[in-house]
């Protein structure tokens, strides 16, 4: 299983649990600085298509991180320090930001991405969705 970690504003991190084909669940974790380094304070998880996040002991977070292939969407020094303190290896991955907002995961490469805006790359499915949204907006203006 892969765990994708996406830094959010305010010291919160969004995590997606991905099995290679589907997103199994999502979580939010907050880190707090302690004398021993960053440690998790609030860990909330939802599995499957449930809507509510449930508070979960941080011991489960550590166990899940040790068992999975951990990938960071964007490098973050605080979370990398947290992972290093618990001997968890991590790497970075280039993922579609719009898919991550919808709790999906699409790894980007030259064959399956398009340029969106000035310099952002998104996957082809999200590109089609954005194009339809823009065209429908322009179509309403012509009436």
Alpha helices, DSSP H only, in 15-95? 58-67, 77-85
Based on the domain organization, do 20 and 85 belong to the same domain? Answer: yes
Please tell me the predicted confidence (pLDDT) of residue 110: 87
Alpha-carbon distance of 121 to 85, in angstroms, equals: 33
Based on the domain organization, do 54 and 114 belong to the same domain? Answer: no
Based on the domain organization, do 87 and 22 belong to the same domain? Answer: yes
Based on the domain organization, do 8 and 64 belong to the same domain? Answer: yes
Q: How confident is the model at residue 6 (pLDDT cuts 50, 70, 90)?
A: very high
Domain count, the chain: 2
| Final residue in a domain of this structure, among 93, 114, 129 | 93
Contacts of 24 (CB under 8 A, 6+ apart): 1, 17, 18, 47, 48
Based on the domain organization, do 28 and 85 belong to the same domain? Answer: yes
Based on the domain organization, do 22 and 71 belong to the same domain? Answer: yes
Q: How confident is the model at residue 4 (pLDDT cuts 50, 70, 90)?
A: very high
Please tell me the predicted confidence (pLDDT) of residue 11: 83
Please tell me the predicted confidence (pLDDT) of residue 97: 87
- Taking only the tens place, the pLDDT of each residue in 35-74 is 998 999 999 999 988 889 999 998 999 999 999 999 999 9
Based on the domain organization, do 68 and 22 belong to the same domain? Answer: yes
- Taking only the tens place, the pLDDT of each residue in 64-79 is 999 999 999 998 899 9
Based on the domain organization, do 111 and 50 belong to the same domain? Answer: no
Q: How confident is the model at residue 22 (pLDDT cuts 50, 70, 90)?
A: confident
- Taking only the tens place, the pLDDT of each residue in 95-140 is 888 888 888 888 888 888 888 888 888 999 998 988 888 888 776 6
Please tell me the predicted confidence (pLDDT) of residue 140: 66
Based on the domain organization, do 53 and 111 belong to the same domain? Answer: no
Based on the domain organization, do 20 and 43 belong to the same domain? Answer: yes
What is each CA distance from 118 to 63, 114, 121, in whole angstroms? 40, 11, 9
Based on the domain organization, do 40 and 70 belong to the same domain? Answer: yes
The whole domain housing 116 covers 98-141
Based on the domain organization, do 6 and 73 belong to the same domain? Answer: yes
Please tell me the predicted confidence (pLDDT) of residue 14: 93
Q: How many CB atoms lie within 10 A of CB 120?
A: 12
Q: How confident is the model at residue 141 (pLDDT cuts 50, 70, 90)?
A: low
């Amino acid at each position: 299983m892969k765990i994708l970690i996406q830094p959010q504003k305010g010291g919160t991190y969004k995590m997606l649990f991905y099995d290679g084909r589907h997103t199994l669940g999502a979580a939010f974790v907050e880190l707090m600085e302690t004398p021993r380094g960053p440690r998790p304070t609030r860990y909330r998880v939802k599995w499957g298509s449930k809507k509510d996040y449930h508070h979960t002991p941080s011991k489960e977070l550590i166990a899940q991180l040790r068992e999975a292939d951990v990938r960071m969407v964007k490098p973050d020094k605080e979370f990398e320090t947290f992972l290093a303190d618990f001997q968890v290896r991590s790497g970075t991955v280039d993922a579609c930001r719009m898919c991550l907002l919808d709790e999906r995961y699409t790894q980007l490469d030259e064959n399956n991405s398009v340029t969106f805006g000035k310099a952002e790359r998104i996957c082809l499915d999200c590109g089609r969705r954005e194009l339809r949204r823009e065209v429908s907006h322009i179509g309403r203006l012509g009436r």
